[in-house]
Chains A and B, each alone.
Chain A
Amino acid sequence: MTGTLSDVRLLRLATAGSVDDGKSTLVGRLLLDSDSVFADQYDALAATGTVDLALLTDGLRAEREQGITIDVAYRYFSTATRRFVLADTPGHVQYNRNTISGMSAADVAVVLVDARRSVQDQTRRHLATAALLRVPHVAIAVNKMDAVDYQADRFTQVAEDVLGCAWQLGVADPVVIPVSALAGDNIVRRSSTMDWYGGPTLLEHLERVPVTPIRSTGGAARLSVQCVLKDDGGAGDVGRSYAGRLTSGPLAVGDEVVVLPSGRSTRVRALGKLGAPVDSAFPGDSVEVTVADHVDVSRGDLIARPAAPSLVDSFRAVVCAVSERAVRPGEHVLVKHGTRTVRALLHEIHAGLDLASLRYLPGLGAVAGNDIALVTVRTAEPLPVEDHADDRETGSFLLLDPDDGGTLAAGMVGAATDRRADDPR
């Protein structure tokens, strides 16, 4: 029963590529050839002369004027078998934070490589980002095959370069597809000029790829409490339920759960799905939980079905900067984890990722711009963080600026925990 759930949910994909790799054109081609463009939208483009597919997604005036993508554009389309949410992200280095945003929610990342230029710095950055964020599937589209006369040799060479890079970075499940977004080869329609290629078209791949659960191991349930709902008709605890989104599960009535950070154990007495009673809930559901005992639960708490995560006030993580503002060791920040935001400090920067060698090198003094760094974060209150490799939801967090509230960095908890909160050290 639960096995069918993921198939009907939305598949989220993010596209990434260097400037001029033809990313917006590819997205336009995907939309056009999958019959997802309205007639008036197409006519508006056709009115300008030759149809520039990139203009289907580059919606800001500055984007149209400069011929670049500045911000993430979201597009929606469906085929007979699946529904897609597509985040078209910019290629410019200065807008890299938007690529990280798009990929953070993605089930599939589509990374573009220009067949003439092969792997660029931005390609490495995008593959590194996909690997760090643990995007479950990465499709590498070798674009502009029309510009290299659709040569199999050239594709093989580029595929070797890019796969070498992807494997070194630990990219999950990379698939390489030769395409021409401009001419429409292997995006939706199978190419007639590349008969040497026997694999799927990009759309076929996107239709078949399985949706991977947030959590790599089954059996555990996690729910960050968003708010407490009180039934105005009920007295005391009778009408009290805890609303939140189940990120992993399932969770069922009668399950033993632990509330963190208090550590109190209780049992699920009732479950509601938007007001309607249910016996069980599944990952992705927005639910209301009523517990059996008088346990103090409030916003920010994590309801977990054992094994519950341990509470830590210091942990190692990889952070991707998404702001120009530099954060130095010893600086105060806020950590937003689940529905809880706590005071914290960036305790130490251990190393920064060097894109040329694809290695972490020591000596990074501050995290800013597009830096990817290995750090230790200390928090004023203990948090139930988990390793990002085990759970992409409880293993991720944001660093916020305590003064203006801006988002400074995206963090992935890594290398487990250094020190437990109840450790007397």
Chain B
Amino acid sequence: MTSFADRTTTRDPATNPDQLDALEAEAVHIIREAVAEGRAPALLFSGGKDSAVLLHLALRAFAPARLPFGLLHVDTGHNFPEVIAYRDAVVRRRGLDLVVASVQEWIDDGRLAERPDGLRNPQQTRLLLDAVATHRFDVLFGGARRDEDRARAKERVFSVRDGFGGWDPRRQRPELWRLYNGRLRPGENLRVFPLSNWTEEDVWSYVVRHAVELPSIYFAHTRAVFRRDGMLLAPGAWGGDGEDLHTRTVRYRTVGDMSCTGAVESTATTAEEVLREVRESVLSERGATRADDRLSESAMEDRKREGYF
């Protein structure tokens, strides 16, 4: 990838803003607009780097006032323990409200059945929609970026969803100028993606510049992994028993369900080193690490139509 020269040299953002400042200003504008137009917003917080940056931006958007909304996490029950610990630490330190919708609880009490393939990512949708209904959320902030996937590249910044959370790409509202239209009919809700125009490199550049804290698994560590479909997975209920386990020095590029999130071999132990690797990478973020997007060419589109994040 061609990359902008590193701009972490001495730079006064007040007088010499760069593209990252421009992206930040745009994201804050979007967050403020959605909160002003909405009634009951919530931020989808997975503990991943995108939602961490999004939370950081939201806190800055309303400082010194308190964050005017809480967090919602749909927990598949297969999350990395480091990520859950990070989530809880952030919530405690910032004094935030957190709603957790647990896939494990739903499976335990019979509201959901485990899929034969053991994947729990597709099952998050039902819990998400249930949480929206229970808490009457009308605006959900997500950290999705358009550079992640071809279907996501078609997503609006303000995305209107029907009562079933469904996304219909043919019926999307035109997005004109910076006039975000957040008006809804009863039963509809809004997904808002302030990081739409950010790339993976932007997110890491922001993490470096603003020292955004992230879960430890984003940085190189040694871990027992097994290889499946060309990906390095951590062992668990989804496998790793009979398969060959190897100890490798790895980090995660995305943080999701452990059953379908692959690690990459890396020795990057700081955000600066990760950023350098991101700039040199020839593989896309999801292509390298996400089994759920490999199910079919339209995996993401299909999940979005059903109300996925």
Q: Which residues of A contact B (CB under 8 A)?
A: 1, 4-5, 8-10, 34-36, 38-41, 44, 57-62, 64, 70-80, 83, 85, 97-98, 100-101, 104-105, 226-227, 229-233, 239, 243-245, 273-276, 278-280, 282, 284-286, 299, 322, 334, 336, 338-339, 341, 392-393, 396-398, 400, 404-407, 410
Within the assembled complex, what's the spacing in Å between the Cα atoms of A400 and B183? 9
Question: B17 CB to closest chain A CB, in angstroms?
Answer: 7
Q: Tell me if A38 and B19 are in contact (CB < 8 A).
A: no
Pair A4/B16 contact, Cβ less than 8 Å: yes
With contacts A10-B22, A73-B153, A286-B29 known, is A398 near B64, CB below 8 A? Answer: no
Q: Does B32 contact A (CB under 8 A)?
A: yes
Interchain CB contact under 8 A, B174 and A80: no
- Whole-angstrom distance between the Cβ of B4 and the nearest chain A Cβ: 6
Contact residues in A for B29 (Cβ distance below 8 Å): 226, 245, 286
Is B1's CB under 8 angstroms from A98's CB?
no
Partner of B1, one of A36, A279, A285: A36
Whether B65 pairs with A10 at a CB distance below 8 angstroms is no
Task: Give the complex CA separation of A76 and B29 in angstroms.
Answer: 20
In the complex, residue of chain B having the shortest beta-carbon distance to the beta carbon of A401: B183
Bound Cα distance A286, B25 (Å): 5
Given contacts A41-B284, A105-B177, A299-B36, 20 further A-B contacts (CB under 8 A): A1-B16, A10-B197, A39-B282, A40-B283, A44-B297, A75-B146, A76-B197, A79-B2, A80-B4, A100-B174, A105-B178, A227-B32, A232-B66, A243-B61, A273-B13, A279-B14, A284-B22, A322-B176, A405-B181, A407-B174
Contact size class for B? Answer: 35 or more
Structural contact, B154 and A404, CB atoms closer than 8 A: no
Rounded to whole Å, the gap between the CB of A225 and the closest CB of chain B is: 9
Q: CB of B306 within 8 A of chain A?
A: no
Chain B positions 274-309 with a Cβ under 8 Å from a chain A Cβ: 281-284, 287-288, 297-298, 301
Point out the residues of chain B lying under 8 angstroms from A229, CB to CB.
Answer: 62-65
Are B4 and A101 within 8 A (Cβ)? no
> Are the CB atoms of A245 and B181 closer together than 8 Å?
no
Q: Of B22, B35, B62, B176, which is within 8 A of A398 by CB?
A: B176
B32, B284, B301: residue with the most chain A Cβ atoms closer than 10 Å: B32
- The docked-state distance in angstroms from the alpha carbon of A397 to that of B181 is 11
**A398-B179 CB under 8 A given contacts A60-B169, A78-B2:** yes
- Assess the A231–B177 pair: CB atoms within 8 A: no
CA of A57 to CA of B172 in the docked complex: distance in angstroms? 17
Q: Which residues of B contact A78 (CB under 8 A)?
A: 2-4
- Asked if residues B36 and A5 are in contact (CB atoms below 8 Å), the reply is no
Determine the chain B residues whose CB is within 8 A of the CB of A274 once the complex forms: 24, 28, 60-61, 63
- A398–B17 CB distance below 8 A: no
Expressed in whole angstroms, the minimum distance between the Cβ of A341 and any Cβ of chain B is 8
Q: How far is the CA of A232 from the CA of B149 in the complex (A)?
A: 41
CB distance from A244 to the nearest CB of B (A): 8
Q: Is A83 a contact of B284 with CB atoms below 8 Å?
A: no
Q: B176 contacts A232, CB within 8 Å? A: no
Q: Shortest beta-carbon distance, B41 to chain A, in Å?
A: 12
Q: Is the CB of A239 within 8 A of B64?
A: yes
